[in-house]
Amino acid sequence: MERVAAAHDEHLLADTVLRIEELDKDLYRGHHVVPPGSIKVTRIYGGRLVGQALEAATRTVATTLLANSVHTYFVRPGDLSIPVIYRVLRLRDGQSFATRSVLASQRGRPIAIVMASFHIHEPSSFEHQHPMPAVPPPESLDSTEVCLNEVLPEATEAAIDEIKMTASEALYASPFVTKKCPVHDTGVKEARMLMWLKLRDPIPSSHISHHLCLLAFMSDAWILPTAVIPHTQFQLGMMTSLDHTLWFHCPVRADEWLLYDTYSPKAVNNRALITGRLYKRDGTLAVTVVQEGLIRSKL
């Protein structure tokens, strides 16, 4: 039995972040809400494309399956002034796994290609995980949220505006809140950031698939700026995501505090690789994220 769209009145986010409508079998149209503010937003935030594509793919699989991995390539910038068409291709339906390909396009041209795998719950025969860092609980941290100027102090005004234009809905008209954690001082400024994040409001829905789509939206917002943290004199000219991958390890809710530990192990040829780990408050590693982005200095 395939799942259906969330009820219209289930939560406001169903009509914003994950707002898609079915046009035909395996064909969906994604809508956007332009966030308020002085910055004229023109480009679609990458996390929205990933979240909506995963929502479209999720609607085509059995309710017993949950997403276990999502691999996205961003091909072209998305235009926020027009809808996105999501075409789902059913590649495989097995006893334990299902695989979907989603092509996101505008004006007949691809803007993102998404591969999603879904897995039925199986009891573990063995387990291990990377330990959660020791950080203060979110309640003990200031309520002030992370801002771009704090993370990228040497970025040019034009570069900040460019990032705002591509991620404004995630960073400034955001459905989720963030609290930055202190990073242990090792004497060397690392390309690392720690923050607590969660949706601003609880979701009545208990459908974990809905939460996974929202986490896909949230995971793209702060991962790429991590790469330039140690380069205090770097004059940022542009910053854009090239690809984005998530692995969901267990059921997790987006409206509960999660620790996002991001780290960049390598930057070269104007490309930076960043890894991210999302932990539940009990220390469970729930999601692993990897992204490569293009970062260029001011000309």
CA angle 207, 200, 20 (to 5 degrees): 50
Active site residue 26: no
Active site residue 220: yes
Active site residue 69: no
How do strand 285-297 and strand 236-248 relate by DSSP bridges? antiparallel
User: Directed axis angle between helix 46-58 and helix 208-219, to 10°?
Assistant: 160
How do strand 27-30 and strand 192-199 relate by DSSP bridges? unpaired
Nearest to 216 by CA among 50, 66, 30, 39: 50
> Alpha-carbon distance 279 to 250, whole Å?
11
> Alpha-carbon distance 198 to 141, whole Å?
14
Give SS3 for 168. helix
Kindly name the residue from 220, 255, 261, 264 that is annotated as catalytic: 220
> Alpha-carbon distance 267 to 293, whole Å?
9
Cα–Cα distances in angstroms (integers) from residue 99 to residues 73, 117, 144, in the given order? 16, 5, 41
Kindly name the residue from 106, 241, 255, 261 that is annotated as catalytic: 241
Residues recognised as catalytic:
220, 241, 291
